[in-house]
Structure 1
């Protein structure tokens, strides 16, 4: 019965207002965005108090468009008594939708995500048939669930508010919980609408009014609220948005400027928009009207064909044209389109002229104001919307505004509190505060005091991008990559890596994982090459690099690249941080050169989530996710205790001793040592065998020992020492086969051989260090020399043995003379044959015995 009466009243109202089926009433609630929220503006409908109708199944729908956010944006609120403050309510908080049914916040924790842009119409529907309910947004089912509360029918004797929240029946409104925007098509049905019908309503395919209540027909209380009849389709389409800039630019400059605003160089595509653009530009006649008829450059050209208009942005031909009589003209000399100053019509001009222009915006275009202390990113969104003091201005989603007050001075204002927070003057009065700018604080807010300098960044750059100083955006990963990706090169400015804390002390080591733990440093030695192995001075020369890796818990880092070599700390940063100190314990004669030294930051973990309040938009890493690496390149000589007993078949063990001198092991210590060698494994005198590293402690200080094996290459030494000595031994032995009568020959040969052996022995000894112990090479030469000496003694001994003489007649074939000579012949057991066969092996045996006894004695 109630529905029938309401419908009858609705028909009377419709007759009075003459609203067609394809029209609806739109209410403008608190549309002055530069004023704080108020409870004095609302749309309210009061049901009769004596109405006894109860509803257990019903549908409520409403369409709203938010133009500014408050802490809470109520969509509608229905209350019927103090017992049920919010019998039905739906509200939006940022991008989350919440709702009450029977005074219970059913959506708590559901996190229903919404499109949170401004200037976008959305249709919200709540469908209930106890215990089931459905929530629709823009025709899509957002939530389907069942109520856990007992069935409580909704009485139709309460009050309905659009754009206000009731904390109690017909009251308790809050200025921070209001709608700033537009509302239309509130409809209340006493039955459940089908999903198909709700989709049609969302798409403006039909205009079904509520049989209980319809905002198109019912009479609402609307103090301070505007209302107008609008076409139904206007609630489902987004009207073109643009901002006129009283700046003179050429076409290229205008396109770049609009790009920085995340917009597009604008061109109207229909007559209505064209007329709006001309009307809006009338406020800039003093600046923009120039040389007869020209006012605004448009994003169009007729370069390809005279009069055929092409959109600069898309390259596509558009149907709508509004040429003035006689335009276009002058052929290809004038290829750019301009809006006239006297009529909303076009002409063409030379593209080299500078004129004012407009930028097309949409609900998707918004800026971020960075450098504040807002709790979430939604609160730092800004848009360009309208004009203040005849200049476009920026306003925030939540009541902040940046606008010009003349002479290039801009103010930053909290319109909700009606406070001017900061001010700034541009160097060029006609410019806009895009990018990073420095402001003077006038009122205390966030952590800023009066008189502080506040750095703000205003741009459309997301947290995945880096904001250049002029407000343009580049990918975040190009920040500090040694190439200028920003037009102004600002991405390569202030590229320091280290973020210091206020109490940082560079003279003492940072703590370990906790403030009482030892700081562990990972040493790594990279041996590049061995330049010389010096047997005489018992030393070796090499070039190597020492890497020391540690974590400094007192530092944070920024803009760390995956490639370690791109994270080089500056000299000033290295001088300002703590770095470990090392000493080489076995340096030879102080021959140590530090060729170069650098400190790098190594990424070991992920960066912190980007701080949307950071005006510099840096990528910050916590200490645990970055390791510092000191890389120092040395050229040095180190002593080595060569043990040459087995020379030339010896193997030497040498080492480099590196001591951590920064503090004892109770403060800093080595851990996880490593060593690599990338040079040649085969040196002129040695082969590099095994290279190892191990840790030890020396007087409570950590020591790293890098040990390697040098195996002497003996092939050349065998060729130059042993083969010649063996040949000399053979020569000495061969003298035993010379006739006894040739004593002078045998003596000269053995003595010469003995002298050559001695000379070779001296030469070999001069290439080795002096040692107190006997080496195997010494024993070998001693054996060879003594053996030749023994042969020489044998020759002398044989010469003095008793012998008989025989006469031998020698007749020369060319002479008549006959010569008689005497031949000595040894008699008894000491014949020449006996001496060669028996005496020499005995000598060899004796000296072999001496040789091995010497080895055993020395070994």
Structure 2
């Protein structure tokens, strides 16, 4: 079966297979390529044309075939058509206003298109502009009956009638031809390119006698059907060069530049009705879109050197001084200063794609919003909509108005537009009738510009890339791109203190991320740590919509005004010491810019919208806080302290908001080595429910403590031990040295104790010092007892002089030897052994705890 596209394309030519009384033509004539001069004229039929023409069912062409015509086993139908405004509607399928079938090429008004349908019982082929674009099976109605009526311009629901004013052709048609055979692809291509035409063997619009009802007939050269004619529109108001150039750009065109003598004559012809309006006292009339650069004239729109100019021989056309050009009323060009204060009229040139979009109403399809600029003789240009609406300048009220010629009603008119201005950009329009549920008399914003999706429309109608919107730079000439740059849009009723719900009304999940950036101080005495950290909590809020988001690595930061519209989670620090917590900074940002919603074709506000359900919010809070820490000082100075940052949600969040275990993250970005500690083993201790806890360990650095505690105490122990080797007669030396080491050691111990927290438990450092003090005390006792024995010996010698030698000799040598041996045994064996055993036990305990 034929596709719906092909079937609806055939609406342009309506053939009813029913009886007729017209004589049968000679069907036996064989088709042949008639070599025609390409300049030979062809008939063109124009239907329902005109600025204010009201569509009706009275305008059409009709040709009645013979009732005795025999059915055909194959059929070829070709024609050329130029649609005035609704061609894009004709070439499509729009059930319930939604376009279901769309041709794979673009259709533009006022452009000639050549179509051919080559059909036979088994298949059909559709040719567009000479190229086969579709093939498929034919229907079942074969052989094809030819005893009906051919109607052009209306859709006939009955034989030669049953017309509907909404199903018409507004445009021109020519070269309608029918053959009883399958045309060759080469023949179709040749006809589409305005080459020699194959005359229809059954029907040809150039020779057949149509019944003409309200249509106009004229002739054109065949070559004109394939010629790309320029579309020039005169702007009959005097403006400076740059202003004229800018206005043509806002109209989606450019300043006119004739590229041939024919185009120059055409532009001069368009100018004639406006001679008295454009600088009536001078011959120069229009600005041209050329500029002199380096001695050559270039087209300002294409930036290419112009191949055609029409300066008179009496004019300096070098362009070294006069950089711009005017068009005179006699068709010649003349140089002019670009920066001059002189005002000229302008001619804008438009291509087939040049359309403007009317936004702010309630059109059903995007095509209804599209308008084309068309020239008007002895008047200002007007804007014709694809569905018949007109935007025109009303001379009586001197204002722009939107009119519906079909209903013969003026819908609205613009306010606040000067007499020399155009209704471009965002304007205020007063309604003259009820539209889109809005009563007459109200003023609504409506925009007219070329801006399509992906662009932002400035208030003047200028289009800029959307990424230039709200980028802290003025990209619009009127600076409107930096206006209304709010990012948060609230949906419906919104109470900022109420948390949003989670997915499908469940509990809202908060994803925490904690970055410990710095440990500023560790207070051993008060068991507290001062920290700087950043807390980031991420969540979704489907009650919000966002604008002006950017795809940045860290997201888009909200302004203070936007942040006030957003609900934000509250958390408390569980182990805060004495309430010492300072908020250093806070920002709320949108993490992503995904699932963008483009503006509708009726929206004046062309900002893109991002749903809150697809773009998560994050609050970044930077704190400086003093938190308590569980110091385990038993193994000092080999102690390891487990500290944490604990966050807790308020109790009113129970059942509504909780932390999400999945996705929680922690980081430590500060130095690993501090003055007295090393930071290690940071982990997430809890990240579910209403608590989020980060643990980290502080390992005391022993280097300085070993040098200032263990090494001096060990040296003092060696000094005390060395006193055991001093001669027994040097009591003062031994006593002073022993007592001094004990005093120094006690002083060292007292100083270290003052730097540690006061705890009732014994620490390993206490055991170390207690042991050394005990050893030093023992050494002093040894010195005392040994010294006392020595004194007794000396007194015996002094008071019994005559028998001293005998007395000495009479002392028990075993006792003297035993004392000395005990001293030697103590200092050589007992004391070293005790010290070694203690160190083994002490350091083994340290390593087991560390």
CA distance in 2, matches of 1:429, 1:254: 16
Give the stretch that moved more between structures: 501-510 or 543-552.
501-510
Residue 596 of structure 1 and its aligned partner are, at CA, apart by 0.9
Check if 1:490 corresponds to 2:508: no
Residue 68 of structure 1, aligned match among 71, 82, 85: 85
Aligned to 2:215: 225
Residue 786 of structure 2, aligned match among 773, 798, 802: 798
Residue 534 of structure 1 and its aligned partner are, at CA, apart by 1.4
CA distance in 2, matches of 1:20, 1:266: 29
Check if 1:563 corresponds to 2:552: yes
Check if 1:776 corresponds to 2:764: yes
Query: Over residues 38-73 of structure 1, what are the superposed CA-to-partner deviations in whole Å (9 max), with x where a residue is unaligned?
Result: 11111222223x324212211111111111117953
Residue 229 of structure 1 and its aligned partner are, at CA, apart by 0.7
Query: Over residues 759-811 of structure 1, what are the superposed CA-to-partner deviations in whole Å (9 max), with x where a residue is unaligned?
Result: 111111111111111111111111111211111122222233374349999xx
Aligned to 1:208: 198
CA distance in 1, matches of 2:398, 2:786: 124
Q: What SS does the corresponding residue of 1:391 show, helix, strand or coil?
A: coil
- Asked if the contact 2:74/2:144 (under 8 Å) is kept, the reply is no
Residue 49 of structure 2, aligned match among 25, 31, 37: 31
Query: Over residues 470-495 of structure 1, what are the superposed CA-to-partner deviations in whole Å (9 max), with x where a residue is unaligned?
Result: 22222222322333333333323222
Give the stretch that moved more between structures: 295-304 or 124-133.
295-304
Check if 1:615 corresponds to 2:604: yes
Check if 1:56 corresponds to 2:73: yes
Query: Over residues 216-257 of structure 1, what are the superposed CA-to-partner deviations in whole Å (9 max), with x where a residue is unaligned?
Result: 111212222111011111111221101111233333333333
Aligned to 1:457: 447
Q: Which runs of 5+ in 1 are unaligned?
A: 74-90, 99-107, 810-821
Check if 1:745 corresponds to 2:733: yes
Aligned to 1:349: 336
Aligned to 2:387: 398
CA distance in 2, matches of 1:574, 1:387: 53
Check if 1:676 corresponds to 2:664: no
Q: What SS does the corresponding residue of 1:580 show, helix, strand or coil?
A: coil
Query: Over residues 617-655 of structure 1, what are the superposed CA-to-partner deviations in whole Å (9 max), with x where a residue is unaligned?
Result: 222222232111111111111110101000111111100
Counting only pairs closer than 5 Å after superposition, residues 208-607 of structure 1 correspond to structure 2 as 208-285=198-275, 287-289=277-279, 291-300=281-290, 311-314=299-302, 321-323=309-311, 326-328=314-316, 333-341=321-329, 343-351=330-338, 352=340, 353-387=342-376, 390-406=379-395, 409-515=399-505, 517-565=506-554, 567-603=556-592, 605-607=594-596
CA distance in 2, matches of 1:161, 1:804: 155
- The CA RMSD over aligned residues, in Å, is 3.5
CA distance in 2, matches of 1:187, 1:156: 14
Query: Over residues 283-311 of structure 1, what are the superposed CA-to-partner deviations in whole Å (9 max), with x where a residue is unaligned?
Result: 44454215422211223456766xx8654
CA distance in 1, matches of 2:842, 2:100: 94
CA distance in 2, matches of 1:329, 1:643: 95
- Asked if the contact 1:300/1:337 (under 8 Å) is kept, the reply is yes
Query: Over residues 186-228 of structure 1, what are the superposed CA-to-partner deviations in whole Å (9 max), with x where a residue is unaligned?
Result: 1111111111111111111122221211111112122221110
| Distance verdict in 2 for CA 1:685–1:297, change over 3 Å | same
Aligned to 1:22: 40
Query: Over residues 150-172 of structure 1, what are the superposed CA-to-partner deviations in whole Å (9 max), with x where a residue is unaligned?
Result: 34323222121212112233222
Aligned to 2:804: none
CA distance in 2, matches of 1:2, 1:109: 42
Aligned to 2:753: 765
Aligned to 2:160: 170
CA distance in 2, matches of 1:482, 1:113: 41
Structure with the higher strand share, 1 or 2 = 1
CA distance in 1, matches of 2:816, 2:719: 28
CA distance in 2, matches of 1:836, 1:388: 133
Counting only pairs closer than 5 Å after superposition, residues 673-822 of structure 1 correspond to structure 2 as 673-695=664-686, 702-801=690-789, 803-805=792-794
CA distance in 1, matches of 2:534, 2:319: 71
Query: Over residues 299-346 of structure 1, what are the superposed CA-to-partner deviations in whole Å (9 max), with x where a residue is unaligned?
Result: 3456766xx8654445666565555674458985545332234x3344
Residue 553 of structure 1 and its aligned partner are, at CA, apart by 1.0
Aligned to 2:645: 656
Residue 129 of structure 2, aligned match among 134, 138, 158: 138
Aligned to 1:47: 65
CA distance in 2, matches of 1:842, 1:136: 117
Q: Which runs of 5+ in 2 are unaligned?
A: 1-21, 799-807
CA distance in 2, matches of 1:263, 1:174: 36
CA distance in 2, matches of 1:600, 1:453: 37
Residue 665 of structure 1 and its aligned partner are, at CA, apart by 4.1
| Distance verdict in 2 for CA 1:347–1:833, change over 3 Å | same
Residue 560 of structure 1 and its aligned partner are, at CA, apart by 1.8
- Asked if the contact 2:415/2:430 (under 8 Å) is kept, the reply is no
- Asked if the contact 2:586/2:621 (under 8 Å) is kept, the reply is yes
Q: What SS does the corresponding residue of 1:378 show, helix, strand or coil?
A: helix
- Asked if the contact 2:24/2:69 (under 8 Å) is kept, the reply is no
Residue 185 of structure 1 and its aligned partner are, at CA, apart by 0.9
Aligned to 2:819: 831
CA distance in 2, matches of 1:696, 1:349: 76
Residue 725 of structure 1 and its aligned partner are, at CA, apart by 0.2
| Distance verdict in 2 for CA 1:329–1:843, change over 3 Å | closer
CA distance in 2, matches of 1:69, 1:357: 29
Give the stretch that moved more between structures: 849-858 or 332-341.
849-858
Q: What SS does the corresponding residue of 2:504 show, helix, strand or coil?
A: coil
| Distance verdict in 2 for CA 1:762–1:317, change over 3 Å | closer
- Asked if the contact 2:87/2:109 (under 8 Å) is kept, the reply is no
- Asked if the contact 1:761/1:781 (under 8 Å) is kept, the reply is yes
| Distance verdict in 2 for CA 1:420–1:388, change over 3 Å | farther
Check if 1:115 corresponds to 2:103: no
Q: What SS does the corresponding residue of 1:785 show, helix, strand or coil?
A: helix
Give the stretch that moved more between structures: 312-321 or 157-166.
312-321
Query: Over residues 240-283 of structure 1, what are the superposed CA-to-partner deviations in whole Å (9 max), with x where a residue is unaligned?
Result: 10111123333333333323333221122344433443343344
CA distance in 1, matches of 2:220, 2:516: 81
